[in-house]
Copies of this chain bind each other. A is one copy, B any other.
Amino acid sequence: MSDDKRVCLAYSGGLDTSVILRYLINEGYTVVAYLGNVGQDEDWAAVEKKALALGAERMVIDDLQQEFLEELVFRGIQCNAIYEDRYLLGTSLARPVLARALVRTAQKYNCKILSHGCTGKGNEYVLAKTMALGAELLAGSSTGKDQAAGEGHHSCEDRSHKANNDDLPGSAFTPVSEGSRDPHGARKFLNTIKCQVRFELAWRALDPTVSIIAPWRMPKFFNRFQGRQDLLKFAAENNIPVSSSPKSPWSLDANLAHTSAESGILEKPEMVAPKDVWTKSVDPLDAPDVPTKFSVTFKAGIPVKLDVEGGETYTNSVELFKKLNEIAGANGVGRVDIVESRFIGLKSRGCYDAPAHTVLRLAHVDLEGMTVDSKVRAIMSWIGNEWSQCLYNGMYFSPERELLENSIIYSQKHVNGTVNMMVYKGAAHVLSRSAPDSNLYSEEQASMDTLEGFSPEDTSGFIAIQAIRLEKYGAAKIQHGEPLV
């Protein structure tokens, strides 16, 4: 089969992507189904079995957890990344890893087309119709929560198409290759590519030769499937197994770093989020009555060791992070409920729980207090903000992110040390820290008893010179009739 009918489909096993998988096959495409494991809960074998049953040429399931942590999450920790003072960017951090893995898979299996199929959300546009469809669960899975998370995560979160107009020749699914566009003929462009921000921006940078089929943006598709009933009808006709679980009243995205919940009933920011919105952490009120203590050791700003009080030690990145999710989650740590500014200019509410990520960021900020020069810290605070914006806005594969990251890594050379912490009923606390390699903190100097080359008079000189500007300011205020006292 020629490459131009081979599609790599982001497949979750849910109703939407199952319908699309089958629909694509019905339209004559060969489908390589792809699912990336970034730490979500999933019955991987069930997904594979279902994809093959529906006619996929193959089901590719990658373990991207280490890549996700080491290249993205830990980079965010190194620069104390945070968006609008609250959000640790859990979803934004997973997107580049998934986008790259999809392109990698497409290239490996000679697919020149990428497809994805479920409800966009987050920074991505959400077709009202597909919202109504909700997050259909994988048939045979046991819990609604996990399944919804699985549905929500990545195979679904991008939705674009590149269809010809109805009155143009060819199948509605024939992607228009980029090269063939004619900017002089505007009509052609009326059916041009539609896709979601983060995935699409990443794909553009990663491989602009790849075309995209996003059925939920194609009139032929979305006019046929106008509601959940249409999908169920198609499923029945095509032997697609359907779960009987009710859909969640909000949309979920889960990975190792966090679970996000948004949309649906959460769209009333004046309403308290329901208890079961939170999947990675227990309610602080339900957390144990005794705190859990542990220490995190960093090397060059990267967490390399977790010592839990009592004796266990974790050094593998994925194990360390999972253990911290477990510990911090069990103590109700890592929840934020915020209204944030989307890239596209709207505000929306999100409930995120990110136990391990929250703890590691706090530990890292603390350790920087011991190991990073104040001016370097001030510069890196700005750099970290820019990096966070890049990630949030889907600009990971960009020259500015590369530039910023070069600085981030450089700034972390001496961020070595250990932070001792405690988690308890919803809060993480830094108890103490040590950084033996750094000469920046000095107990002796802190006490000022022994600071060589520094005298009481020096303070005077320092003040006298700093004050020159201020005295002029005060004098001008008097001159202008606005004395400061």
The closest CB in chain B to the CB of A121 belongs to B448
Most buried by B among A107, A269, A378: A269
Give A465 to B454 CA distance when docked, in angstroms: 7
Contact B399 A448 (CB under 8 A): no
Contact B473 A433 (CB under 8 A): no
Residues of B within 8 A of A377 (CB): 84, 341
The closest CB in chain B to the CB of A477 belongs to B205
Contact B100 A484 (CB under 8 A): yes
Contact B183 A448 (CB under 8 A): yes
Contact A468 B484 (CB under 8 A): no
Q: Which A residues, 111 to 150, have Cβ-Cβ distances below 8 Å to chain B?
A: 124-129, 131
Contact B446 A468 (CB under 8 A): no
Give A469 to B475 CA distance when docked, in angstroms: 32
Residues of B within 8 A of A89 (CB): none
The closest CB in chain B to the CB of A271 belongs to B432
Whole-angstrom distance between the Cβ of A423 and the nearest chain B Cβ: 10
Answer yes or no: A54 CB below 8 A from chain B CBs: no
Pick from B219, B349, B461, B475: contact of A459, CB under 8 Å: B461
Whole-angstrom distance between the Cβ of A382 and the nearest chain B Cβ: 7
Whole-angstrom distance between the Cβ of A143 and the nearest chain B Cβ: 26
Residues of B within 8 A of A194 (CB): 456-457, 459-460
Residues of B within 8 A of A192 (CB): 455, 457-458, 460, 464
The closest CB in chain B to the CB of A344 belongs to B465
Answer yes or no: A207 CB below 8 A from chain B CBs: yes
Known: A208-B475, A222-B186, A339-B433. A468 touches B272 (CB 8 A): no
Q: How large is the interface on A (under 10, 10 to 19, 20 to 34, 35 or more residues)?
A: 35 or more
Contact with B along A171-201 (1 / 0, CB 8 A): 0000000110101101101111111110011
Contact B340 A369 (CB under 8 A): yes
Answer yes or no: A450 CB below 8 A from chain B CBs: yes
Residues of B within 8 A of A285 (CB): 291, 424
Give A103 to B485 CA distance when docked, in angstroms: 7
Pick from B86, B125, B370: contact of A339, CB under 8 Å: B370
Q: Which A residues, 441 to 485, have Cβ-Cβ distances below 8 Å to chain B?
A: 441-443, 445-476, 479, 484-485
Contact B464 A458 (CB under 8 A): yes
Residues of B within 8 A of A131 (CB): 447-449
Answer yes or no: A243 CB below 8 A from chain B CBs: no
Pick from B268, B271, B284, B469: contact of A374, CB under 8 Å: B469
Contact B455 A179 (CB under 8 A): no
Give A476 to B126 CA distance when docked, in angstroms: 25
Contact A165 B183 (CB under 8 A): no
Which of A29-37, A70-78, A401-409 lies at the interface?
A: A401-409
Contact with B along A62-95 (1 / 0, CB 8 A): 0000000000000000001000111000000000
Contact B291 A474 (CB under 8 A): no
Most buried by B among A195, A382, A454: A454
Pick from B86, B375, B426: contact of A399, CB under 8 Å: B375
Give A347 to B270 CA distance when docked, in angstroms: 42
Contact B451 A183 (CB under 8 A): yes
Answer yes or no: A338 CB below 8 A from chain B CBs: yes
Answer yes or no: A431 CB below 8 A from chain B CBs: yes
Answer yes or no: A430 CB below 8 A from chain B CBs: yes
Whole-angstrom distance between the Cβ of A113 and the nearest chain B Cβ: 15
Pick from B178, B335, B440, B479: contact of A347, CB under 8 Å: B440
Contact B448 A455 (CB under 8 A): no
Contact A204 B459 (CB under 8 A): no
Residues of B within 8 A of A471 (CB): 204-205, 208, 453
Whole-angstrom distance between the Cβ of A255 and the nearest chain B Cβ: 21
Known: A339-B433, A456-B194. A441 touches B80 (CB 8 A): no
Contact B269 A189 (CB under 8 A): no
Contact B410 A406 (CB under 8 A): yes
Contact sample, A vs B, 16 pairs, CB 8 Å cutoff: A84-B369, A86-B366, A104-B485, A127-B184, A128-B184, A186-B219, A194-B457, A205-B484, A269-B433, A285-B291, A337-B429, A346-B468, A347-B440, A398-B473, A399-B469, A403-B410
Which 8 residue pairs are nearest across A and B when measured between Cβ atoms? A461-B461, A341-B374, A189-B455, A345-B468, A427-B427, A458-B461, A339-B369, A204-B467
